[in-house]
Amino acid sequence: MLQEEKEQKIKERETSLEERVPPLSLSGLSLQDVLDLCKDLHLKIDVVDEEWYDIGLKVSKNEKEIDNMNLKIIEIQSKFKKPTLKRVKISAEAMLSVLLGSKHKESIDFKANLKTVKKEEEKKEEVTDWRKNVEAMSGMEGRKKLFDA
């Protein structure tokens, strides 16, 4: 089957070439006719080459545009930042009613279950005049007091 398809493609190619390009018959032509035919063929080749070059430029231009657009898409996607969510103040009962819906009927007091912590008052040193303290601590006696303390 593959060989038949290859043969069929070859036949189709040959028939399309025969239709597009007439067979070249140089017999019975003078030297001037052959030169004219060569010039005519060269002009046709030049036209085809120009078209091929123009099409190649258009394709490369379109590929560059596609690449630029893909880069812009990537930039836009990377610039998008998720918005910061605002903190909503809601009571515990309201939160439960939102989460549980109609199932939530009784109110729960969360603060009643919390332990109470007693705060110990810190001992505050009395604020005295610093000049008196400096005079008392100066000299050897002050150092001895610090050592004893």
How much is the average pLDDT of 1-15?
A: 94
Instruction: Confirm whether 123 is domain-assigned.
Output: no
Instruction: Confirm whether 74 is domain-assigned.
Output: yes
Instruction: Confirm whether 120 is domain-assigned.
Output: no
Asked if residues 128 and 143 have their Cβ atoms less than 8 Å apart, the reply is no
Predicted confidence band of residue 26 (pLDDT cuts 50, 70, 90): confident
Q: What is the pLDDT of residue 77?
A: 83
Domain span including residue 49 = 28-82
Structure token pair of residue 100:
């549980």
Number of domains in the chain: 1
Residue 51, pLDDT > 80, answer: yes
User: 143 Cβ partners below 8 Å, 6+ apart?
Assistant: 137
Residue 66, pLDDT > 80, answer: yes
Average pLDDT, the chain: 81
Residue 7, pLDDT > 90, answer: yes
